[in-house]
A and B are shown apart, each in its own frame.
Chain A
């Protein structure tokens, strides 16, 4: 079975491009061009050079000794938190800004939840001298204030999404509306592995540098390219897509995806899409999403702004449906404790999103000989206020 996208833009029954006609020319242009552009030697050279000299790749694969001792297994952390701008998001924005330039676009729009994708987009727009507008839910603007300030310092305009739950879903709606209103000069940099085809595949390919590096780094450290497990948190699923990509068709590698259970999967305040979602259409793709029986999209909840999304990327919906990936859901409380654990044991303050991935160590028992690679997708600087409020420091 293939877990990659097919010619029509689907992963099994999931994916496609369910977009209004107004977006057709843009999405179709991208669909026809993205693989061609990404295959050009000069594109690859510029992308690789920026990842190396500007982002600071490769990111380290760090053996977490004390964490491993605590859980009696062998844990490596893929340190995406050490990238420039503090998370994996920049891998994709570097790639897409180069695509946008090739397509002759002058104006960049983006949505953001935690602010990491917004910062990463504002950063590459500054780097390339392009106009940048970032849509962000009003609630997220409040809980991620440092990232809002960062985007402004980088020259971006941050526009508040005031509709619906005023979080990531609504920021995405506003970005799509902006694209409808500005169809000629604008490229929309989607930050997650969601949206109409080709976005999920394009974002996945740009993020796949994560698993590409894990392979050769693990070979150096363990003498084998394949770990026993790869673990990542999932909101829309971009860091997970990148972490899983080169292992999807390696059956000996277990794939573990960790969603945000919020206050509990059945509490009514959750973002555990694989448990609560049904097949539907959100933001231009067919995937699993949380909705009412009547097909209205419901408001998700998570303490982590980056996981606070009612859908999941179509590739992940397919991995869940086929059983290729094992899905866990982790509560706010469990994630916050796991985050603090990493601070005390390894001296690393993780993003709350990444803390969800770490918390799975309490739910899934790994064997002492297992090699487990966890994607540490971002650093916790942006979350200090949330950590402080939670732990009453």
Chain B
């Protein structure tokens, strides 16, 4: 069984943290991952930076740009993660846009992920239908889980379709927005969380976008299996460097 599936069977709410690889410094990747695991984070999304991150707000855009300026490349990321499984055992996911993977070669990329011990991928601009038709066989061959997004605008019918082709979990985007919005959750989100919970999907859901503190984490996980924090963690790194990761994780739960 894949590490993601195993982790999701535990009787607890999942805290997942996203960060952009190569930020704040090029070679922080492994130490950030180790520090997050040490402080009880359940799952980590390693962002592969891209020049044109369409679904991301200003915070993640800026960290991606900084990472690229620091010299981050796909190959360097793989080199940094080469020995990560000697020290880290929680599930690791690479999140990135499709073009850098396409240029590396989708099969070569997946093979490398499997070698390193990456458990899954999140590729926001690779549509479900294209994945199913052209790439699923490759992902399966290397034991990688591909995670899909749903949003408040996704119809029940499409959510059921996405559920049917998913494994691991479904990434539930909390509201109609790019990453990093911090308006908090109101009745609209609550209704949406309830609607999805009532669909009784086969895959658990983890909520992302707009989770930035203990309050929003607790709200989101009232209905879902877990929640993902990205922009708020990157902001913390920008302001404090990598020395106070423990404080950040403790502030969430």
Instruction: Identify the interface centre among A18, A173, A181, A295: most chain B CB within 10 Å of its CB.
Output: A295
User: 23 pairs across A/B with beta carbons < 8 Å?
Assistant: A18-B126, A18-B130, A20-B55, A20-B149, A21-B124, A21-B128, A21-B148, A25-B153, A163-B61, A173-B52, A177-B54, A177-B55, A181-B176, A183-B151, A281-B102, A284-B125, A294-B73, A295-B50, A295-B74, A295-B100, A295-B101, A296-B50, A297-B52
Per a CB cutoff under 8 Å, which of A22, A182, A183, A279 touches B55? A22
For chain B, residues 56 to 81, give those with C-beta under 8 angstroms from any C-beta of chain A.
Answer: 57, 61, 65, 68, 73-75
Q: Is the CB of B98 within 8 A of A18?
A: yes
Tell whether B187 is near chain A: CB-to-CB under 8 Å. no
Specify which chain A residues have a CB less than 8 angstroms from the CB of B124 in the assembled complex.
20-21
Closest residue of chain A to B173 (Cβ to Cβ) is A22
Tell whether B198 is near chain A: CB-to-CB under 8 Å. no
A177-B57 contact, Cβ under 8 Å, with A19-B125, A19-B127, A282-B52: yes
Q: How many of chain B's residues have a CB under 8 angstroms from any CB in A? A: 39
A21-B154 contact, Cβ under 8 Å, with A281-B98, A281-B125, A295-B104: yes
Q: Mark A60-83, 1 if CB is under 8 A from B, else 0.
A: 000000000000000000000000
Cα separation A182 to B51 with both chains bound (whole Å): 23
Closest residue of chain B to A284 (Cβ to Cβ) is B125
Tell whether A87 is near chain B: CB-to-CB under 8 Å. no
Q: Is the CB of B153 within 8 A of A184?
A: yes
Q: Mark B137-166, 1 if CB is under 8 A from A, else 0.
A: 000000000001111011100100000000
Q: Is the CB of A21 within 8 A of B151?
A: yes
Q: How many of chain A's residues have a CB under 8 angstroms from any CB in B? A: 34
Q: Is the CB of B100 within 8 A of A25?
A: no
Q: Is the CB of B125 within 8 A of A164?
A: no
Residues of chain B touching chain A, judged by Cβ–Cβ distance below 8 Å, are: 50-52, 54-55, 57, 61, 65, 68, 73-75, 97-104, 124-128, 130, 148-151, 153-155, 158, 173, 176-178, 181
A177-B178 contact, Cβ under 8 Å, with A20-B125, A21-B149, A284-B125: yes
Cα separation A176 to B101 with both chains bound (whole Å): 21
Q: Is the CB of A296 within 8 A of B130?
A: no
Q: How far is the CB of B188 from chain A (nearest CB, A)?
A: 12
Specify which chain B residues have a CB less than 8 angstroms from the CB of A155 in the assembled complex.
none
Q: How far is the CB of B76 from chain A (nearest CB, A)?
A: 9
Q: Is the CB of B178 within 8 A of A296?
A: no
Tell whether A54 is near chain B: CB-to-CB under 8 Å. no
Cα separation A183 to B100 with both chains bound (whole Å): 27
Cα separation A247 to B187 with both chains bound (whole Å): 55
Cα separation A69 to B187 with both chains bound (whole Å): 72
Specify which chain A residues have a CB less than 8 angstroms from the CB of B73 in the assembled complex.
294
Cα separation A150 to B102 with both chains bound (whole Å): 41
Tell whether A390 is near chain B: CB-to-CB under 8 Å. no
Complex A-B, nearest 9 residue pairs according to Cβ-Cβ distance, in ascending order: A295-B103, A295-B100, A21-B149, A296-B51, A20-B124, A20-B55, A295-B99, A281-B99, A25-B153
Q: How far is the CB of B51 from chain A (nearest CB, A)?
A: 4
Q: Is the CB of B99 within 8 A of A297?
A: yes
Specify which chain A residues have a CB less than 8 angstroms from the CB of B130 in the assembled complex.
16, 18
Q: How far is the CB of B4 from chain A (nearest CB, A)?
A: 19
Q: Is the CB of A164 within 8 A of B52?
A: yes
Cα separation A296 to B101 with both chains bound (whole Å): 10
Q: How far is the CB of A226 from chain B (nearest CB, A)?
A: 38
Cα separation A66 to B149 with both chains bound (whole Å): 60
Tell whether A342 is near chain B: CB-to-CB under 8 Å. no
For chain A, residues 18 to 52, give those with C-beta under 8 angstroms from any C-beta of chain B.
Answer: 18-22, 24-25
Specify which chain A residues have a CB less than 8 angstroms from the CB of B75 in the assembled complex.
294
Closest residue of chain B to A27 (Cβ to Cβ) is B127
Tell whether A293 is near chain B: CB-to-CB under 8 Å. yes
Q: How far is the CB of A160 from chain B (nearest CB, A)?
A: 13
Cα separation A164 to B51 with both chains bound (whole Å): 8
Tell whether A280 is near chain B: CB-to-CB under 8 Å. yes
Specify which chain A residues have a CB less than 8 angstroms from the CB of B54 in the assembled complex.
20, 173, 176-177, 180, 283
Cα separation A296 to B69 with both chains bound (whole Å): 12
Q: Is the CB of B103 within 8 A of A180?
A: no
For chain A, residues 345 to 383, give those with C-beta under 8 angstroms from any C-beta of chain B.
Answer: none
A18-B173 contact, Cβ under 8 Å, with A25-B154, A180-B178, A281-B99: no
Specify which chain A residues have a CB less than 8 angstroms from the CB of B52 in the assembled complex.
164, 169, 173, 282, 297
